[in-house]
Structure 1
C-alpha cells in the first residue's frame, strides 16, 4: 500500500514539474497607476503536457502521444454514449457525453456536448452544438462545431467543422444534396478540397433519409475504400455503438480525426432520434 502511494506521489510530482515553467522572473513593480488595455499573451505556443504513459494501447508507436495524434496507427475506434438519468426521467434532453475507445477498450477521448436548453427542446437532434474532446492529459484535443441547418435540398446543408487548439480549422464535413442515399464529403481545412466521400445505405429514403438502427457507411477516396463506419448493437453493454474501422493503414492522424468528426455528424443526424 505504501509503495503504491509512493508511486502515485512520484507520478503526481512529475506531472507538476512538467506543468510548471522552467523560467523565473522578478515581479514587476509600478509606482503609478497602470491601465490594462489588453490581456497578456504568451509570445510562443505553449507545448502540450505529455501523457503520463509511454504508449497508447493498441498503437504501434512507442512515444507519448497527445491531442488527436492518439488516433495514429489505431485499426479502429469505438464511440460509446453515456446516458444521463435526466433523459430517462424527464422529457428535456441533456447535453450528450461520449467515450471514444481503442480496440482494446482503452479510453482515448472523453467527449462532452455544449448546447443551450432551448436549442435541445426546439431543434432536437438537429440542434447546433460544440463537442469538446479531451485526451488523457485533460487537455482539449479536438472541437466539433455544428451550426443549425435544416436540410440539403432547399436549405443550407448540414455541416460540421473540426477544430484543433488554439483555433485552427482541421477540416469540415458537408452533406451532399442527393436523393437515393446519404452522401457526405470530408473537406481539408487548408485547401477546401474534398478528400473523402462518405456513402450510406442505398434506398434509405427520399430526401429525408431514415436508415435503420444498424447500418453501414463506407468512406472512400479515389475509388479505394479507406475506412468504414457502422452503427451496431453491443450486447455486452446493452447499447448501440458507432464503430470506425480504418482499412488503409497509411491514413494520417489528421485523416482519422476528420473521419471521427464525420462519425459524430452521422450520430446526430441518424441515430439520435
Structure 2
C-alpha cells in the first residue's frame, strides 16, 4: 500500500453513487472562520447515518472488496460519500485488520476528510491495547494532509474502549463499548457504543451498529451505523467521530463471524 503522503487520488463525481435520485444536502450558507473546507455541513448536524453499499461480487464470491458508504443526515439527505483505498493482498490476507485510506467527498467531488488506519499485525486485543503497537488507531485529516485528530483503542479487561483525541493528542471524548459487540439472527437489537466526556461517565453521544435485516446481515457484510453527537460540538471533533465509527466497523463488524 502506498504511503499516505504520496497517494494521488482521482476523486470521481459521487452523484451517481447510491440509490438513483438520491437527494444531497445543500451546502449551509455560513461564514465561520477556521472551519476546514467541506465541514460546513457538520455545523447543522447532530446525527449521521452511514450506509455501507452492498457489493454483489463480494456476496457471491466471498472475496473482500473495497468498501463504499453513503453518509446521510437524519432527513435521509446524503452529506458525504466515502470509499476505501486499500491493497488487494491486504484485503485477502488481512481481512478486517487491513490498513486503508478512506476518502470522504462531498457533493462537489471535493475530498473533505481523509482517514488513515495503519496495518498493525498484532493489534486488536483489548488486554494489550495500552501498548501502542497493539492498539488499533485511525488518523483523521481535514482537509487531506492536515491532521485534526485520532481515535485509538485503549486497554480494558473486557469491553472495547476508545479515546477520541484532538490534533495535539489530548483526550476529548471517550467511547465505551458493550460486552458483546456482535449481532445474530437471535440478537437483532442495535449494538451501542456510548460516547462520553473525559470523565468516561457523562454520556454526550452514541455510535450504534443498526440491524439491517436478515438478508443484509447474513448474506453480506454491508453495515448500517448511526453516529450522534451534540449539535454544538466542534466540527473537527464531529469528523473525528466519523473516523471512530469506521474504526469500530472494521474492528467488529467486518469480521465474517459477526455477520452470521
Give the TM-score normalised by the residue count of structure 2: 0.73
For the residues of structure 2 that align with 1:172 and 1:99, how far apart are their CA atoms?
A: 22
Cα distance between partner residues in 1 of 2:198 and 2:165: 14
The aligned counterpart of 2:258 is none
Provide Cα deviations, 1:211-249, integer angstroms capped at 9, x if missing partner: 1223111111144322111111245x9564110122x23
CA distance in 2, matches of 1:243, 1:196: 17
- 1:156-195 paired onto structure 2 within 5 Å: 156-189=134-167, 191-195=168-172
Shift of 1:179: 1.6
Report the CA distance between 1:167 and its aligned residue: 1.1
- Looking at structure 2, the residues matched to 199 and 260 of structure 1 have their Cα atoms a distance apart, in angstroms, of 16
Give the Cα–Cα distance (whole angstroms) in 2 for the partners of residues 234 and 73 of structure 1.
26
What 5-or-longer segments of structure 1 have no aligned partner? 1-55, 205-210
C-alpha deviation, 1:57, in angstroms = 4.4
CA distance in 2, matches of 1:57, 1:137: 11
Q: Aligned to 1:253, which of 235, 239, 249? A: 235
- For CA contacts below 8 A with separation 6 or more, give which structure has more relative contact order: 2
Checking the alignment, whether the CA contact within 8 Å between 1:128 and 1:148 is kept in structure 2 is yes
3-state SS of the aligned residue for 1:228? strand
Aligned partners of 2:92 and 2:39: how far apart in 1?
32
Unmatched 5+ stretches in structure 2: 1-23, 184-189, 218-222, 256-260
Task: Give the aligned CA root-mean-square deviation in angstroms.
Answer: 2.4
Candidates 87, 101, 107, aligned match of 2:72:
101
- For the 8 Å contact 1:142–1:163, the answer to whether it is kept is yes
> 1:58 touches 1:74 (CA, 8 Å); kept in 2?
no
Shift of 1:88: 1.7
Q: CA deviation at 1:156?
A: 2.4
Larger radius of gyration: 1
Three-state SS of the structure 1 residue aligned to 2:211 is: strand
Structure 1 residues 69 and 234: alpha-carbon distance in aligned structure 2, compared to 1, 3 A threshold: same
Deviation of 1:159 (Å): 0.4
Q: Structure 1 stretches (4+) deviating beyond 6 angstroms?
A: none
> Equivalent residues in 2 for 1:19-58 (5 A)?
57=25
2:60 is the alignment partner of 1:89 = yes
Q: 2 CA distance for matches of 1:75 and 1:187? A: 19
Q: Name the structure 1 match of 2:85.
A: 114
1:196 maps to which of 169, 173, 190: 173
| Alpha-carbon spacing, 1:197–1:73, altered in 2? closer, same or farther (3 Å) | same
